[in-house]
Amino acid sequence: MDDVTGIGLQRHRLARRGFMMTSVMTGFSLATTTVEAQAIHTDTKGLVAGAAQIPVSDGHLPGYAARPDGAGPFPTILVIEEVFGVNAYLQDVCRRFAKLGYLAVAPEIYARIADLSKITNDDEIGRVIAQSRDSQIMSDLDATAAWATQHHGDPARLGVAGFCRGGRDVWLYAAHNPHLKAAVSWYGVLDGKTSAIQPQTALDVADKILCPLLGLYGSEDVFNPVPMIHQAEAKAKAAGKTVEIVIYPDTPHGFHADYRPSYREAAAKDSWRRALAWFKRYDVA
């Protein structure tokens, strides 16, 4: 195995034990109906960035990580994907954080089930998501945080950020990990079907979160009606939790994803500014 950096970031070849699919996506997700030119391109100058292998209970989980070139320890952000794999956009988000002094790492949380980069059918994507165990995702995020600690991350300054389905997982992880300092959910799906392996929605755990959470939503989000967003906020605040919800007017779901038609530049930039301020306010930065 080639170790590019000496700190656990690997060049292309990834362990396969225990997984059906292990590739880290290097291009845009084929699962996205319409892909446009990415609005933001973040280079690797001054960074250590590349594919990572994260030890988990049954093998090694592939992922992508970026950090400043230096010893650290650096404040750490776990970045949780949408449902399109750790694609070029997610990798760029990691580099954006790294340029600001963070170690950012995005694990491929669906790699055991399928390679989402090769799925183009929405129904097939849905079946993959339905097979994912929330308990496994929580465990994998714990393992990712542990990996970060061993690779120049500061365990005392740990945050989590996620988008869409990953934003939903942000709510769940904020109710799971007592060591988190802060969480940011971009249009995290609040409701939906439950099952034996996905027993709770984000709305269900809104009153159980263990760290301050910033929720960033659009008023025209078809997955998150505005009354439901306010319901989650009210439930968390009634339980004494620190939650701030921002709802951008005339803005759809996926407004931060700068490779899709849903991208809205003004909301994306403002939400990024708010996220950085949130992490700074609650001692992740």
The average confidence (pLDDT) of the chain is 89
66 pLDDT band, cuts 50/70/90, is very high
Quote the DSSP letter at residue 116. Answer: G
pLDDT value at position 19? Answer: 39
Q: Point out the catalytic residue in the list 92, 134, 169, 221.
A: 221
Distance CA 174, CA 268 (A): 23
Helix pair angle (134-150, 165-174), 10° resolution: 80
Q: Is 140 a catalytic residue?
A: no
29 pLDDT band, cuts 50/70/90, is very low
pLDDT value at position 177? Answer: 98
118 pLDDT band, cuts 50/70/90, is confident
Q: Point out the catalytic residue in the list 134, 253, 256, 258.
A: 253
- Residue with the bigger pLDDT between 160 and 114: it is 160
CA 87 → CA 80, 93, 205, 214, 216, distances in Å? 11, 10, 28, 24, 21
Q: Token pair for residue 27?
A: 């291009």
Q: Where are the alpha helices (DSSP H) in the chain?
A: 88-99, 122-131, 134-150, 165-174, 226-238, 265-281
pLDDT value at position 16? Answer: 35
For the chain, list the strands marked E by DSSP: 9-10, 47-56, 59-68, 74-80, 103-107, 153-163, 182-186, 213-218, 243-248
157 phi and psi, to 5 degrees? -130, 75
173 pLDDT band, cuts 50/70/90, is very high
53, pLDDT greater than 50: yes
The mean pLDDT value for 77-89 works out to 94
Q: With pLDDT > 90 as the criterion, what percentage of the chain qualifies?
A: 80
Contact 174, 209 (CB under 8 A): yes
pLDDT tens for each residue of 204-247: 999 999 999 999 999 999 999 999 999 999 999 999 999 999 99
pLDDT tens for each residue of 175-186: 999 999 999 999
Q: With pLDDT > 70 as the criterion, what percentage of the chain qualifies?
A: 87
Q: What SS3 class is residue 64?
A: strand
pLDDT value at position 37? Answer: 65
Residue 10, classified by CB atoms within 10 Å of its CB into exposed (0-12), middle (13-18) or buried (19+), is: buried
121 pLDDT band, cuts 50/70/90, is confident
32, pLDDT greater than 90: no
Q: Is 152 a catalytic residue?
A: no
pLDDT tens for each residue of 86-108: 999 999 999 999 999 999 999 99
20 pLDDT band, cuts 50/70/90, is very low
Q: Point out the catalytic residue in the list 134, 164, 176, 211.
A: 164
Q: Is 253 a catalytic residue?
A: yes
pLDDT tens for each residue of 143-163: 999 999 999 999 999 999 999
pLDDT value at position 38? Answer: 79
